[in-house]
Structure 1
Amino acid sequence: MTDKTLTHVVGTFLIQADASFLNGAKGTGEDQNVTGPKTFWDGKNKVPYVSAQAWKRWLRNTVIEETGWLPSVQKSSGWNKKGNVSKHESELNPVDFPEDDIFGYMRAEAGQGGTKEEDEDTEDEELETSGRTRTKSVMRASPFSASLLISLRSKGWQGEDEAFVHLKEYDPSSLAKAEIERFLSAINEDKDKKKTVWERLKKSKKFDAASLKTVKELVDNNRLEELRTLLSEKAKPNEIKFIEKPISPVPYTTLFYNTNLQGIFCLNYNRLGVYWNIGDRIELEETRAKKFLEEKKIKDVTNEDRYKKLSDNGKRGNIYKIADEVKPSVKDRATALFNALAVLRGGAKQAQFGTDIAPKALILAGTTCGNPIFNHLFEDDGNGPSLKIETFKEIISDYSDRIAKPVLIGIRSGYLKNEDAVKKEFIDENGNPKTVSGIQILIMTPIEAAKRMSESLP
């Protein structure tokens, strides 16, 4: 391949997650007081991971904090028959909101790709088709793709933190309702907990209107012993086991991990600042595109040589590109992304399991293809992470005709177990970088690697 112009940036990184809990879910069971990390099976063992959605959200937040850009806030845009949110969307504006440009968005429309009569009342983006309209959705696939953050260790990573919430007093009204719950359980009536205790008590054959009124008065006036006596009488011949220790400690358990988390990513640099309104899916609302064209924030590049085939000379739609004068520029947007990645912050349970999630190892390269080539480059034998040097060299050799810039290895001193071997392999006796199949390998810190990558962007 003769053209070595950078079109993508690919990379991998490691987060040092010692005694951490960065992304998890509530446990199962009657009390649901056990919280654990997300895991998957590798065939033999459970492996902890952080979802791509989670860590990309951390990255988005870090980008906004580092740059001061106006955030593209997610907001409700649709509701189901029960009144719950069924749709949400961001600003859908990649020109004024760089966050939308980098991470994409979606506003799906019912009946996408189908047709409807032109006189139907709709706010959808539409395409005229012989007296009818074709429904289109506003979607931008993220130019930044990412994997899960996966533990290097498949065993020996588990940790367990058992704790208690210690109480000094109780809420009398809540305790009274809990005793009524025990009464209903004892007489085995109406276990539908979607209903209130009063609705369920009212349906009980044990109570008439007068008795129910008495129960409410006892609850409202915190006359707990009288309430228990009344419930005991009504429950006969069944026996109720009332609550003896209303301020006993509340136990809870957190399963955490002690490992290093590995992720890969790929930025399609060519797609930043370029918006395809092709076929049934559009990336930039046409009304908004028209406004941006008038304001000269974007330009129509449909008929430029590199886009003609994609748009079939404009027959399938239009392609727009952000104007050179718009700030932040495409390069500025990518720069902000890599700089934020190098100082990444976020994660769940930070008050209890505070973790520095800024990458301790970060490998970056500019390429002419979208393959996220730096996959599974690290391993951990239980004594710490190591770079697979031979695997790394093999990848560089295989993709040397597609690597457009020097490969950057950013590592925090003392982190990789084989740090000395890495430096010996890629730095000569005079301190100069070595090459692999003609590709220069540069070693520096993770933050320096991010800055160097940004500087090399066209």
Structure 2
Amino acid sequence: MTYLTGKIALDIDAGAPNNGRGDNNRGEVKHLWIGRDKHPYVSAQAFRRWLRDSLPVTEAASPVIRTGSGAKQQAYTSGRPDKHLDDDLFGYMVAIKNENYQRDTVLATGTLVSVTPRQPAMDFGTMSRGFAAGENPVIHEHEHYSAELGGGILLDLPRVGTFELDGGGLRRTLSADAAKEALGAGAVEVQLRGMSCLRLPLEERRRRVAVLLRTLAEVRGGAKRALHYGDRTPALVLLAPVKGGNNPFTRVLAAENNQTVFDTDVLREEVDVWADELDGPVLLGWAPGFLGDQREVASKNLADLINDGRLTIGHPRVLLRALADGIQAGRHDDWFEDPAR
């Protein structure tokens, strides 16, 4: 089995990409406290929404079904991962009368938290357009901040296009009718991790991973784009094919003297320690200018890993698109298998 796992970072410049619950015309960005320090963050739910919204228009999104009213409302997608890439990769839960189906996410994303403490600034504004002379304006305030946000990411490749049928209750992915339809459309029966499953053709599974990687290279979104538009593509992406699904690279970004630093010593030691689990070179996509001149310093400090073919450094968009091309061309088909370990 192989997982693509690692770290992504966003470079937020005077932005408010994910807001919390406002009160009294006062908007606050989402943040958490670590000790006495405030760290703004973008929730995993928000980032996943950006990814969904950034998928190519040619990918038909799974339709959302809404039922009930008031406090007894439900909303869920169609729950057809055989037909829809987003149901396949992002997961879902359908819990209605006499029917319970769930797909655990194939793409796991962490909360993108500011690496260093940052105190958001409060922006003051008014609305008075069209008001009569002498009328008081409507006052509103909202927070924004500049920070480097980091979070983990993991893609379970053998489960892409593979849908569990065993298990009780919510463990089942497809109804009997949906499974029958998927079989008729070309899915085959397989065993994965002790469960009976249906699996799509390998060509489609490759394609779905390639679409996701290309989307990650061009993701867009975020709140308050009218006032705080900014780049939301990852400024840094570290991805490694790892056999066991562990993520050794969660600590490559650190705070030092209130600045975000990329710790090459951490990366070097993790690459060495996890060498038996790595299933290919580590890819480090790093946008020029992010973290000043640290990319050039890291390239020099890690030159031996680069020369040995254990590490590749380049622009995030270039590396992600090249990886997508390689997967779609069938050069990494072994990553989709799940042999006994």
- Return the TM-score normalized by structure 2: 0.89
1:238 aligned residue:
none
Does the CA contact (< 8 Å) of 1:159 and 1:258 recur in 2?
no
SS of residue matched to 1:26: coil
Alignment of 1:108-257 (within 5 A): 108-109=95-96, 124-125=98-99, 137-155=100-118, 157-169=119-131, 247-257=135-145
Distance change >3 Å, CA 291–CA 422, structure 1 → 2 = same
Does the CA contact (< 8 Å) of 2:117 and 2:258 recur in 1?
no
Write the distance in 1 (CA, Å) between the matches of 2:302 and 2:319: 15
2:12 is the alignment partner of 1:17: yes
SS of residue matched to 2:230: coil
Distance change >3 Å, CA 373–CA 108, structure 1 → 2 = farther
Write the distance in 1 (CA, Å) between the matches of 2:240 and 2:94: 33
Write the distance in 1 (CA, Å) between the matches of 2:181 and 2:139: 58
- Paired residues in the alignment total 325
2:148 aligned residue:
260
Alignment of 1:312-331 (within 5 A): 318-324=196-202, 329-331=204-206
Write the distance in 1 (CA, Å) between the matches of 2:44 and 2:147: 18
SS of residue matched to 1:261: strand
SS of residue matched to 2:250: coil
SS of residue matched to 2:306: coil
Distance change >3 Å, CA 323–CA 249, structure 1 → 2 = same
Write the distance in 1 (CA, Å) between the matches of 2:247 and 2:51: 18
> What's the CA shift string for 1:156-203, capped at 9, x where partnerless?
x42221111114337xxxxxxxxxxxxxxxxxxxxxxxxxxxxxxxxx
Q: CA deviation at 1:26?
A: 3.5
Write the distance in 1 (CA, Å) between the matches of 2:142 and 2:257: 22
1:71 aligned residue:
61
Q: CA deviation at 1:246?
A: 7.2
Alignment of 1:87-126 (within 5 A): 87-109=74-96, 124-125=98-99
Q: Which amino acid aligns with 2:92?
A: Y
Distance change >3 Å, CA 154–CA 330, structure 1 → 2 = same
> What's the CA shift string for 1:278-336, capped at 9, x where partnerless?
1223101111111222x24211224xxxx4x714xxxxxx4211134xx6x11111111
Identity %, equivalent residues:
25
Write the distance in 2 (CA, Å) between the matches of 1:354 and 1:380: 26
2:338 is the alignment partner of 1:346: no
Does the CA contact (< 8 Å) of 2:116 and 2:259 recur in 1?
no
Q: CA deviation at 1:250?
A: 1.3
Write the distance in 2 (CA, Å) between the matches of 1:255 and 1:40: 14
SS of residue matched to 1:25: coil
The runs of 4+ residues in structure 1 deviating greater than 6 Å are: none
Ranges in structure 1 where 5+ consecutive residues have no aligned partner: 1-5, 110-122, 126-136, 171-244, 312-317
Q: CA deviation at 1:85?
A: 5.2
2:194 aligned residue:
310
SS of residue matched to 1:168: coil
2:180 is the alignment partner of 1:290: yes
Q: Which amino acid aligns with 1:160?
A: M
Instruction: Find the partner of 1:300 among 168, 186, 189.
Output: 189
Does the CA contact (< 8 Å) of 1:362 and 1:449 recur in 2?
no
Instruction: Find the partner of 1:26 among 12, 21, 27.
Output: 21
Q: CA deviation at 1:105?
A: 0.7
Write the distance in 2 (CA, Å) between the matches of 1:373 and 1:433: 19
Does the CA contact (< 8 Å) of 1:365 and 1:453 recur in 2?
no
> Considering only aligned residues, what root-mean-square deviation do their CA atoms show, in Å?
2.1
Distance change >3 Å, CA 151–CA 40, structure 1 → 2 = same
2:300 is the alignment partner of 1:424: yes
Alignment of 1:332-371 (within 5 A): 332-371=207-246
Does the CA contact (< 8 Å) of 1:369 and 1:402 recur in 2?
yes
- Higher Cα Rg: structure 1 or 2? 1
Instruction: Find the partner of 2:48 among 34, 53, 56.
Output: 56
